[in-house]
Amino acid sequence: MFTARGLSIIDSYNIRFSDVLTNMGNDYNSSTGVFTCRIAGQYWFSASISKSYTDTVANTNCFIMINGSNKMEMYHHEENAMHATFSMTATGGFYLNRGDRVQVGYCFNPGFLFISNIVSYFSGVLIRPDV
Protein backbone atom coordinates (compact mmCIF):
# COMPACT_ATOMS: atom_id res chain seq x y z
CA MET A 1 0.00 0.00 0.00
CA PHE A 2 1.03 3.59 -0.47
CA THR A 3 -0.24 7.08 0.28
CA ALA A 4 1.43 10.21 -1.04
CA ARG A 5 0.44 13.87 -1.01
CA GLY A 6 1.96 17.16 -2.11
CA LEU A 7 0.97 17.53 -5.75
CA SER A 8 3.47 18.95 -8.20
CA ILE A 9 3.17 19.16 -11.96
CA ILE A 10 5.80 17.50 -14.14
CA ASP A 11 3.82 18.17 -17.35
CA SER A 12 0.20 17.75 -18.46
CA TYR A 13 0.67 13.99 -18.67
CA ASN A 14 2.44 13.52 -15.35
CA ILE A 15 1.53 14.60 -11.84
CA ARG A 16 3.57 13.52 -8.86
CA PHE A 17 2.93 13.44 -5.16
CA SER A 18 6.31 13.83 -3.46
CA ASP A 19 5.38 13.72 0.24
CA VAL A 20 5.15 9.96 0.86
CA LEU A 21 3.27 9.04 4.03
CA THR A 22 3.26 5.25 3.50
CA ASN A 23 5.04 3.15 0.88
CA MET A 24 5.08 -0.50 1.95
CA GLY A 25 7.02 -2.45 -0.67
CA ASN A 26 8.42 0.78 -2.19
CA ASP A 27 6.29 0.34 -5.32
CA TYR A 28 5.38 4.05 -5.52
CA ASN A 29 8.10 6.29 -6.99
CA SER A 30 7.76 9.84 -5.62
CA SER A 31 10.13 11.23 -8.28
CA THR A 32 7.90 10.14 -11.16
CA GLY A 33 4.50 9.79 -9.45
CA VAL A 34 4.16 6.23 -10.77
CA PHE A 35 3.12 3.10 -8.86
CA THR A 36 4.61 -0.01 -10.50
CA CYS A 37 2.85 -3.26 -9.67
CA ARG A 38 5.17 -5.90 -8.25
CA ILE A 39 2.45 -8.37 -7.16
CA ALA A 40 -0.40 -9.20 -9.57
CA GLY A 41 -3.88 -9.00 -8.06
CA GLN A 42 -6.83 -6.79 -7.16
CA TYR A 43 -6.01 -3.21 -6.16
CA TRP A 44 -7.95 -0.18 -4.97
CA PHE A 45 -6.76 3.32 -5.92
CA SER A 46 -7.92 6.75 -4.88
CA ALA A 47 -6.79 10.19 -5.96
CA SER A 48 -7.96 13.65 -5.05
CA ILE A 49 -6.75 16.92 -6.53
CA SER A 50 -7.90 20.49 -6.09
CA LYS A 51 -8.46 23.25 -8.60
CA SER A 52 -7.13 26.60 -7.54
CA TYR A 53 -9.38 29.63 -7.57
CA THR A 54 -9.32 31.73 -10.73
CA ASP A 55 -11.61 33.90 -12.79
CA THR A 56 -10.12 32.78 -16.09
CA VAL A 57 -10.40 28.98 -16.18
CA ALA A 58 -13.78 27.33 -15.65
CA ASN A 59 -12.76 23.67 -15.79
CA THR A 60 -9.95 21.23 -15.28
CA ASN A 61 -9.61 17.48 -15.08
CA CYS A 62 -7.10 14.67 -14.53
CA PHE A 63 -7.28 10.88 -14.72
CA ILE A 64 -6.13 7.86 -12.80
CA MET A 65 -4.21 6.10 -15.57
CA ILE A 66 -3.07 2.50 -16.00
CA ASN A 67 -0.26 1.88 -18.49
CA GLY A 68 -0.97 5.26 -20.10
CA SER A 69 -4.69 4.62 -20.56
CA ASN A 70 -7.25 6.92 -18.88
CA LYS A 71 -9.37 4.91 -16.43
CA MET A 72 -11.06 7.20 -13.86
CA GLU A 73 -11.67 10.92 -14.45
CA MET A 74 -11.55 13.68 -11.87
CA TYR A 75 -13.40 16.67 -13.31
CA HIS A 76 -14.58 20.08 -12.20
CA HIS A 77 -16.49 22.75 -14.13
CA GLU A 78 -17.68 26.12 -12.86
CA GLU A 79 -20.53 27.95 -14.58
CA ASN A 80 -19.39 31.22 -13.03
CA ALA A 81 -15.72 31.09 -12.10
CA MET A 82 -15.52 32.23 -8.49
CA HIS A 83 -12.77 32.70 -5.94
CA ALA A 84 -12.90 29.23 -4.42
CA THR A 85 -10.95 25.99 -4.41
CA PHE A 86 -12.67 22.79 -5.52
CA SER A 87 -11.63 19.16 -4.99
CA MET A 88 -11.99 16.39 -7.54
CA THR A 89 -11.78 12.74 -6.48
CA ALA A 90 -11.73 9.36 -8.21
CA THR A 91 -11.63 5.91 -6.66
CA GLY A 92 -11.80 2.47 -8.19
CA GLY A 93 -10.76 -1.15 -8.08
CA PHE A 94 -8.62 -2.69 -10.80
CA TYR A 95 -6.91 -5.95 -11.58
CA LEU A 96 -3.19 -5.36 -12.20
CA ASN A 97 -0.54 -7.60 -13.68
CA ARG A 98 3.06 -7.49 -12.56
CA GLY A 99 4.73 -4.48 -14.18
CA ASP A 100 1.53 -2.47 -14.72
CA ARG A 101 1.99 1.24 -14.01
CA VAL A 102 -0.60 3.45 -12.29
CA GLN A 103 -0.39 7.23 -12.06
CA VAL A 104 -2.40 10.43 -12.02
CA GLY A 105 -2.08 12.51 -15.16
CA TYR A 106 -3.37 13.53 -18.59
CA CYS A 107 -4.61 16.78 -17.05
CA PHE A 108 -6.43 19.60 -18.84
CA ASN A 109 -5.32 23.03 -17.58
CA PRO A 110 -2.78 21.56 -15.11
CA GLY A 111 -1.42 25.03 -14.32
CA PHE A 112 -4.61 25.74 -12.37
CA LEU A 113 -4.29 22.80 -9.99
CA PHE A 114 -3.83 23.83 -6.37
CA ILE A 115 -0.28 23.02 -5.30
CA SER A 116 -0.29 22.09 -1.63
CA ASN A 117 1.04 19.41 0.69
CA ILE A 118 -2.32 18.78 2.33
CA VAL A 119 -5.19 18.97 -0.18
CA SER A 120 -4.15 16.52 -2.92
CA TYR A 121 -3.27 12.86 -2.56
CA PHE A 122 -2.83 9.54 -4.38
CA SER A 123 -3.24 6.17 -2.63
CA GLY A 124 -3.34 2.51 -3.54
CA VAL A 125 -3.69 -0.78 -1.72
CA LEU A 126 -3.44 -4.45 -2.70
CA ILE A 127 -6.78 -6.04 -1.81
CA ARG A 128 -6.14 -9.62 -2.93
CA PRO A 129 -2.96 -10.99 -4.49
CA ASP A 130 -3.04 -13.73 -7.10
CA VAL A 131 -2.28 -17.10 -5.55
Q: Concatenated DSSP letters for 64-111?
A: EEETTEEEEEEEEE-SS--S--EEEEEEEEEEE-TT-EEEEEEEESGG
Map out the domains of the chain as residue ranges. Answer: 2-129
pLDDT tens figures, 31-80? 999 999 999 999 999 998 876 665 565 667 788 999 999 998 876 656 65
Cα–Cα separations (whole angstroms), residue 72 to 51, 56, 91, 92? 17, 26, 7, 7
Write the pLDDT tens digit of every residue in 67-123. 999 998 876 656 655 555 566 788 999 999 999 999 998 876 655 655 566 678 899
Backbone φ and ψ for 33, nearest 5 degrees, come out as 80, 15
Q: At 8, is the pLDDT very low, low, confident or very high (cuts 50, 70, 90)? A: confident
CATH architecture of 2-129: Sandwich (2.60)
| Per-residue pLDDT at 85 | 58
Residue type, 46: S
**Mean pLDDT of the region 2-30:** 89
pLDDT for 81 equals 56
Question: Which of 29, 81, 27 minimizes the C-alpha distance to 59?
Answer: 81
